[in-house]
Amino acid sequence: MSGKVYLVGAGPGDPGLLTMRAAELIGNADLVAIDALVSREIAAMVPAGTEVIHVGKRSSAHTLPQDQINALLVEEAKKGRRVVRLKGGDPFVFGRGGEEAEEIAAAGLPFEIVPGISSAIAGPAYAGIPVTHRSFATSLTLVTGHESEESTGINWPVLAKLGGTIVFMMGFANLPLIVRKLTEHGMSAQKPVAVISKATTREQRTITGTLANIDAKIAEVNLPTPALIVVGDVVKEHEIINWFETKPLFGKRVVVTRAREQASDLKRLLEESGAQVLQFPTIEIAPPESWDSLDSVIDALGDYRRVIFTSTNGVKSFFERLQEKGKDARALAGCMIAAVGDTTAAGLKGRGIVPDLVPEKFQSTALLPLLESDQRGIRTAVIRAAEGREELIDELRKRGGTVDLAVAYRTRAADYDIEELRRLIAADAIDVVTFTSASTVEHFFSKLTAEERARVNARAILASIGPTTTEAIRGYGKAADIEAKSASVQALHDAVLEQIAAVTA
């Protein structure tokens, strides 16, 4: 039985522009043949067990020639495999998808075309340039500027007089040729031009000018490829509706050290503000080495006057274990519930429990002023990580109380690309490092050399979610630059935003 080939457009770079159909096919493929221009975030969506073949297809640097790519698709589909040919942009917009489809059809194999958002449209849109506009352009012309020789097959006399908007794709290296040909054939030297580098990514950069001066402007900067060239009066709109590159954190690289399964909200908030988020999850959440202490507390919940939760992870683990033992939130009836931090409180509310006590600071000892000075006769359960601090428990016992520790989870060092992190540190390419717990601080700095720690401290803004995390940062030679006003990722994001605004003002 033969398989099937899917020619799938991955879009221009921003993973948010990937179509739902493309994401579905990537997740169910047996083999993915992937272009170099597909973004790392989209490439990371390929499941771990799926075979991936990198076929290149970057300008003048192909890992596999086109005929070998065609043969690969046919051969693998004949084995009965679901083959996804993942291409940057759209398969049929200068993507050679038509050639691949012809070969697959000639082999008598089933195939499907999944369009992608072309950078020809998305790039200008992210630069605030509408490719059509009633006042400026009623037509759009797409041109490949890839060929290195002047005999590109482009009808320059017609193109120069066509009007509307012209988008040159893969033509950055030929910018001088494009400028010369258009002006030689009658286009005004004052015609607006934009060059958009790495369109739709957090590294996007747009340079505007005219045919008369765009060469000189580009020569003054170092623009990486891929880059689009937009010619037309619509370029004037860039100064008015440049929405993407004017975001408050645009151009800033922010490291998120939180466990990957918890980092999504912080990552989303930072990216919505324009930051390039680099995920280096220094910790991961794991079950405790033994459930004995948590099970003992759950079995005796009716004997406790107060239950204290110190983190959202503790809340999650507690209720999952509670359910496994055939119980639910009703088992907490009669207990006074305390939550350390707004996020922990929100986690409890999501389980139908409104905590009775929530201190202002994200610090377990901040509960102490809210608790009785005489704890005699009061039995308390503390639900926390194995690595938690002992000050709260010790103080409650000093006050005469009975305190039982229930270990609901533990944190351990997570594997991540330390070499990539080291490269960024050496290049002074990190603007902000965010920390959401003392353990993220410990596991981040402990993997670095003394020189690397010094570079991070000197170059990057260190952002803390609360006092305990701030204290851990101080242990590595620098006070935190930022401490969130409350223990939530929203507050941490807002603090980063305020600090960057203050620095750049």
Using alpha carbons, select from 394, 448, 150, 161 the residue that is nearest to residue 280: 448
Q: What is the DSSP letter of 29?
A: -
Tokens 């995390």 belong to residue: 469
Tokens 């038509």 belong to residue: 98
Cβ pair 28, 108 in contact under 8 A: no
Q: Which of 4, 30, 35, 325 is catalytic?
A: 35
Using alpha carbons, select from 61, 14, 4, 17 the residue that is nearest to residue 39: 14
Quote helix, strand, coil % in the chain, to nearest 5.
40, 20, 40
Burial of 76 by CB count in 10 Å (0-12 exposed, 13-18 middle, 19+ buried)?
Answer: buried
d(Cα 211, Cα 450) in Å, to the nearest integer? 51
Contacts of 44 (CB under 8 A, 6+ apart): none
Burial of 164 by CB count in 10 Å (0-12 exposed, 13-18 middle, 19+ buried)?
Answer: middle
d(Cα 391, Cα 43) in Å, to the nearest integer? 45
* 35 catalytic per annotation: yes
Contacts of 259 (CB under 8 A, 6+ apart): 281, 283, 284, 285, 411, 414
Contacts of 40 (CB under 8 A, 6+ apart): none
* 431 catalytic per annotation: no
d(Cα 18, Cα 29) in Å, to the nearest integer? 16
Token digits of residue 239:
């100064």
Rg (CA), the chain: 29
Token digits of residue 270:
């930072």
Cβ pair 400, 372 in contact under 8 A: no
Q: Which of 14, 57, 198, 316 is catalytic?
A: 57
d(Cα 420, Cα 198) in Å, to the nearest integer? 20
d(Cα 460, Cα 100) in Å, to the nearest integer? 47
End-to-end CA distance of the chain: 64
Cβ pair 455, 471 in contact under 8 A: no
Using alpha carbons, select from 149, 137, 153 the residue that is nearest to residue 231: 137
Active site residues per annotation: 35, 57
